[in-house]
Amino acid sequence: MSLQPKPYYSFEDYLAAERESTDAKHEYVAGQVFAMAGASFNHNLITANLAGELRQQLKSRPCTVLSSDMCLRVLTADACAYPDRCEAGALTARPRHPCAIARNPL
For the chain, the domains span 11-102
Residue 50's nearest CA partner among 36, 67, 38 is 67
pLDDT in the model for residue 104 = 40
The whole-number average pLDDT for the span 67-95 is: 70
* pLDDT, tens digit (0-9, with 9 covering 90-100), for 10-44: 988 988 888 888 788 888 999 999 888 877 888 88
Q: Which CATH superfamily is 11-102 part of?
A: tt1808, chain A (3.90.1570.10)
List the Cα angle 66/27/23 in 5-degree steps.
85
Is pTM beyond 0.75 here? Answer: no
The whole-number average pLDDT for the span 76-91 is: 71
The whole-number average pLDDT for the span 36-63 is: 81
Taking 50 as the threshold, does the pLDDT of residue 3 lie above it? yes
83 or 36, greater pLDDT: 36
43 or 105, greater pLDDT: 43
Q: From the centroid of its chain, how far is CA 78?
A: 12
Amino acid at 78: D
